[in-house]
C-alpha cells in the first residue's frame, strides 16, 4: 500500500520473553496544514483488516503492552484507527471508541465434496453455475501485467456506476500486486469468446483465503461468470485444505451482502477502534458552533 498510496509505512514489531513474535501493521498519512497538520495512523485502508499478526497466541497483558506502546509512540496525532478482523484476538484498547463491523465467511472445513458445497448455496445458484458452463465461460489463472491491467479497466468501468468509490485504486496498485510474484496470490479470470469479462484476486495465509478484489463486466452478467469463478475457487481451496474463505467485510451494500450470503457466507462479527486527538476534536466542535451561530445571526439580520 505504501508503494501505491500516500502512506508511510510505520509498522511495528515486537518480541516477548516467551518467544512470541508480533508484527503490528500501521501506516501514517499526513494531513494538510488546513486540517491541523497532524497525522492519521491506520492499520488498514477501507474494506481491509488490521490488528496484530503473531506466530502464537498472545495474552491480554501482552496485547495491552503493544497497544500502550503504540499510543505512547504516536503522541502527535489526529487519529489512530485500529481495524479488527474476524479471526483476530479480542481487544479492548483504553481510550478508543469501538465501531462494530462484520464479515462474511465460508467455513470450507464443513464440506466433504462439491455436492455439499452446492447445497450450501441459495436456491438457483447451481442453475446459474450450469448456465455459465453452457455459455462457454472459460476460467483460467493469470499472471501477466496485461491481465492485471485488464482487470483494472474492468474496475474503472464498474466504479463508474457506483454512487461513491471509497477505494479510488490507481493502476499502479494492480501493477504492483502483479510484480510481487507472491505464491500466496492467485488471480482467477473469466473469458467469453476470448475476451476477459471479469476476475478475482485471492490472498491466502494460514489456511485462510481472502476474496480481495473482484470485478466483472455487467454487460455479461447474464452468464453468471462471477458465481462460476467463485465456485471453482472454493472447490480448489477446499481441496488444498483451506478451512475458511473470507468474503470480506459487509460494507453495508445490500446487493454485495446478498451475494455473499447466497454463496454460503456466514456472518462473523468483529470491531474497529478509533482514538481521536481530544484537543483537535474540541477545536472542531467549537468551530462548528461558531459557524452555526454565524449563520443564525446572518439569517436574523436579513
Per-residue pLDDT of the chain (302 residues; tens, 9 = 90+): 656 667 788 899 999 999 999 999 898 887 765 555 688 898 877 777 888 888 788 888 898 899 888 888 887 788 898 888 888 877 778 788 998 888 999 999 999 999 999 999 998 999 999 999 999 999 999 999 999 999 999 999 999 888 776 678 899 999 999 999 999 999 999 999 999 999 999 999 889 999 999 999 999 999 999 999 999 999 999 999 999 999 998 767 788 899 999 999 999 998 888 988 865 555 555 456 565 656 666 565 55
**Whose CA is closest to 234, among 267, 186, 197?**
186
Residues ≥6 apart with Cβ < 8 Å to 296? none
User: Which CA distances in Å does 144 have to 34, 150, 181?
Assistant: 42, 10, 10
Q: What is the side-by-side strand order in the sheet with 12-15?
A: 12-15, 21-24, 53-54
- Segment holding 150, helix H or strand E: helix 145-159
Whole-model pTM above 0.85? no
Place of cell 510474484: 181
Amino acid at each position: 500500500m505504501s508503494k501505491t498510496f500516500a502512506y508511510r509505512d510505520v509498522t511495528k514489531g515486537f518480541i516477548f520473553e516467551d518467544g512470541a513474535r508480533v508484527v503490528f501493521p500501521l501506516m501514517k498519512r499526513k494531513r494538510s496544514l488546513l486540517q491541523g497538520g497532524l497525522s492519521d495512523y491506520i492499520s488498514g485502508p477501507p474494506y481491509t483488516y488490521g490488528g496484530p499478526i503473531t506466530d502464537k497466541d498472545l495474552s491480554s497483558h501482552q496485547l495491552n503492552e503493544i497497544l500502550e506502546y503504540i499510543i505512547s509512540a504516536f503522541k502527535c496525532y489526529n487519529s489512530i484507527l485500529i481495524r479488527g478482523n474476524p479471526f483476530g484476538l479480542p481487544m479492548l484498547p483504553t481510550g478508543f471508541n469501538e465501531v462494530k463491523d462484520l464479515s462474511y465467511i465460508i467455513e470450507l472445513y464443513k464440506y466433504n465434496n462439491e455436492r455439499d458445497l452446492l447445497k450450501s448455496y441459495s436456491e438457483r445458484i447451481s442453475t446459474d453455475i450450469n448456465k455459465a458452463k453452457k455459455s462457454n465461460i472459460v476460467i483460467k489463472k493469470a499472471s501477466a501485467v496485461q491481465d492485471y491491467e485488464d482487470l483494472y479497466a474492468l474496475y474503472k468501468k464498474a466504479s463508474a456506476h457506483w454512487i461513491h468509490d471509497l477505494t479510488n485504486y490507481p493502476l499502479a496498485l494492480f501493477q504492483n500486486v502483479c510484480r510481487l510474484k507472491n505464491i500466496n496470490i492467485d488471480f482467477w479470470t473469466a473469458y467469453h469468446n476470448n475476451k476477459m469479462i471479469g476476475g478475482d484476486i485471492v490472498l491466502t495465509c494460514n489456511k485462510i483465503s481472502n476474496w480481495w478484489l473482484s470485478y466483472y463486466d455487467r454487460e455479461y452478467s447474464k452468464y453468471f461468470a462471477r458465481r462460476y469463478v467463485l465456485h471453482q475457487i472454493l472447490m480448489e481451496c477446499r481441496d488444498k485444505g483451506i478451512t475458511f474463505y473470507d468474503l470480506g467485510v459487509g460494507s453495508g451494500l445490500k446487493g454485495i451482502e446478498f451475494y455473499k450470503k447466497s454463496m454460503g457466507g456466514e456472518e462473523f462479527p468483529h470491531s474497529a477502534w478509533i482514538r481521536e486527538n481530544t484537543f483537535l476534536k474540541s477545536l472542531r466542535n467549537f468551530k462548528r458552533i461558531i459557524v452555526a451561530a454565524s449563520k443564525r445571526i446572518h439569517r436574523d439580520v436579513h
